[in-house]
Structure 1
Amino acid sequence: MGWRIIHITNVDQLSLQLDNLKVKKSDDELKIPLRDIFAIIIEDLTCKLTSRLMIELSKNNILVLLCNQKYLPECVIQPVTGHALQFRQMMKQLNWTHDLKGILWKEIIQRKIINQAEVMRRNYIEKNRIAKLNELATKVENQDTSNVEGQAARIYFNSFFDENYTRSNQNYIENAALNYGYAIAHSAIARTIVAKGLISGLGIYHRGERNPHNLASDIIEPFRPIIDYFVVKHPPDGYLTKDYRIQLINLLHSKIVINNKMQTFIRAIEISIDSFLEFFETGKSEKIQLPSLEKLVLHES
């Protein structure tokens, strides 16, 4: 699997040369082997892309994000053909039981809250607030019927921002940063879901009728605190500069703990999804592997 994340801005053309991405700006050219690329994020609205390149990117299952004027991903390019055993994977997914989905959702939300508590600890938030979050994590039920996730979120975000803060308030530049980071992570997860032959629109908990990636919206939850930690620790200064957006993109190279090993964010996504497939095959919750912020190493560009 590729590992490079290519950020495109102020470029004339992207094309294919042999098995390489060719980046052209005026008389300058740069070539990058396709086998090394995990994702290409294109923020340049005037950049030209050749059809031949797009076909090869699709064949190599490389995530391609086209961003809008606000730099948020607007379009995700995905292959028509997917996993070699896609039909079999899809049929298995359609047979995932309600009870097993409920167990997995409980595990996901518990880990999300525990990771949120770790972000609070790393930012020296009052110990009683951290203790409250850890207590809430123990109270999550199957399906999270009591919405413990929402209770934890109120304590969590109010620990970093003032009492008027809400995630939907566009007056907070931190929300723009969080939205950008979440969108990049969400797209990376959706890409891996498709590569595994799963139906991205068929979620465990999320059921948005207009959301083509409900399953990615489920899986991102315990990963969100990685973006939160960076934004709280390094808040944007007035607006999202190019350098700041690149730092958010590079969070995919951060290292976290999963299955008792340090792995990159990108690799942890794949490990989590593979573990979910094992869980639905066996019904054994110990198969579930989720990211932990017990140790976190941010990528330094």
Structure 2
Amino acid sequence: MGWRIIHVNQVDQLSLQLDNLRVRRSDDDVRVPLKDIFAIVIEDLTCKLTSRLMIEMSKHNILVVLCNQKYLPECVVQPVSGHATHHQQMMRQLAWQEETKDKLWQQIIHRKLINQSIVMQRVSVDFDRIKKVRDLADVITPGDKENMEGQAARVYFNSFFESDYSRSDDTFIENAALNYGYSILHSAIARTVVAKGLISGLGIHHKGARNPHNLASDIIEPFRQIVDYYVLRFPPEEYLTKQYRLNLINLLHAKVEINQKIQTVIRAIELTIDSILEFFETGDSNKLKLPSINNLRIYES
């Protein structure tokens, strides 16, 4: 699996040369082996891409993210051809039982709330608030019917920002930073979901009729706190500068703890999805591997 993340800005053309991505800008001409690339984030609205390159990137399962004028991811290019056992995987997924889905969602939200409490602790939030989130994590039931996730979110975000803060308010530059980081994470998860032969639109909890990646929207929940911590630790001073965007993209190279080992976020995504497949095959919750940010290490370029 590739590991490089290519950020494209002020580039004339992206094309294919043998098995390499060729990047041309004025007098510069750079080549990167396709086998080394995990994702390409394209922010240059004038950059030309050859169809031959797009086909080869699809064959290599390279995530391609196209951004809009505000630099936020707008379009994700996914391969049409899926996993070698795509049909079998699809049929297994369609047979997932609601009871098992509820148990998985319980574990996902429990890990999300624990990760939120770790973020709160790292940025020195009052202990009473941290305890409140941890107490909510301890009483989550299968399917989280009582919406402990929502109750924790109110305590969580109100611990960091002013009383008039709202996650839906686009005037807060913190929201722009969070949205950008979440979008990159979500796209990376969706890419891996598709590469595993799963139906990305068929979630375990999210059921958005217009969301083509409901399953990725489920899996991202315990990963979001990586972005949260970075934005809180290094708050943006202005709207999404180039360097800040690069730093958010590079969170895919951050290190988290999963299955008692330190792994990159890219690798942790794959391990999480593999463990979810194993959980549905066996029904054993001990098979689940979800990321912990207790030993989070931010990648520094």
Where does residue 155 of structure 2 map in the other structure? 155
Where does residue 264 of structure 1 map in the other structure? 264
Where does residue 184 of structure 2 map in the other structure? 184
Where does residue 75 of structure 2 map in the other structure? 75
Where does residue 234 of structure 1 map in the other structure? 234
Residue 110 (str. 1) matches residue 110 (str. 2): yes
Shift of 1:216: 0.3
Cα distance in 1 for partners of 2:126, 2:115 equals 16
Where does residue 167 of structure 2 map in the other structure? 167
Residue 248 (str. 1) matches residue 248 (str. 2): yes
Where does residue 198 of structure 1 map in the other structure? 198
Please give the per-residue CA displacement for 1:29-57, whole angstroms capped at 9, x wherever unaligned. 00000000000000000000001100000
Aligned ranges for residues 19-34 of structure 1 at < 5 Å?
19-34=19-34
Amino acid at match of 2:266: I
Cα distance in 1 for partners of 2:24, 2:65 equals 18
Cα distance in 2 for partners of 1:173, 1:25 equals 31
Q: What is the TM-score when the length of structure 2 is the normalising length? A: 0.99
Where does residue 278 of structure 1 map in the other structure? 278
Cα distance in 2 for partners of 1:293, 1:242 equals 26
Shift of 1:239: 1.0
CA RMSD of aligned residues (A): 0.5
Shift of 1:86: 0.1
Amino acid at match of 2:22: K
Q: Secondary structure at the match of 2:74?
A: strand
> Structure 1 unaligned runs (5+)?
none
Cα distance in 1 for partners of 2:224, 2:4 equals 21
Identical pairs, percent: 67
Please give the per-residue CA displacement for 1:121-179, whole angstroms capped at 9, x wherever unaligned. 00011111111111110011100000000000000000000111111011211000000
Where does residue 219 of structure 1 map in the other structure? 219
Cα distance in 1 for partners of 2:52, 2:151 equals 49
Cα distance in 2 for partners of 1:72, 1:129 equals 32
Cα distance in 1 for partners of 2:164, 2:285 equals 39
Amino acid at match of 2:240: L
Q: Which runs of 4+ in 1 moved over 6 A?
A: none
Amino acid at match of 1:299: Y
Shift of 1:230: 0.1
Where does residue 87 of structure 1 map in the other structure? 87
Q: Secondary structure at the match of 1:211?
A: coil
Residue 50 (str. 1) matches residue 64 (str. 2): no
Amino acid at match of 1:158: N
Q: Secondary structure at the match of 1:167?
A: coil
Q: What is the TM-score when the length of structure 1 is the normalising length? A: 0.99
> Structure 2 unaligned runs (5+)?
none
Q: Secondary structure at the match of 1:112?
A: helix
Q: Secondary structure at the match of 1:221?
A: coil
Cα distance in 2 for partners of 1:170, 1:54 equals 33
Q: Secondary structure at the match of 2:223?
A: helix
Amino acid at match of 1:76: V
Shift of 1:238: 2.0
Cα distance in 2 for partners of 1:138, 1:148 equals 10
Amino acid at match of 1:202: L
Q: Secondary structure at the match of 2:30?
A: strand
Cα distance in 1 for partners of 2:197, 2:216 equals 13
Amino acid at match of 2:158: N
Shift of 1:233: 0.5
Shift of 1:27: 1.9
Q: Secondary structure at the match of 2:238?
A: coil
Please give the per-residue CA displacement for 1:190-213, whole angstroms capped at 9, x wherever unaligned. 000000000000000000000000
Cα distance in 2 for partners of 1:74, 1:158 equals 29
Cα distance in 2 for partners of 1:104, 1:239 equals 37
Shift of 1:73: 1.1
Cα distance in 1 for partners of 2:29, 2:239 equals 31
Give the aligned length. Answer: 301
Q: Secondary structure at the match of 1:200?
A: coil
Where does residue 291 of structure 1 map in the other structure? 291
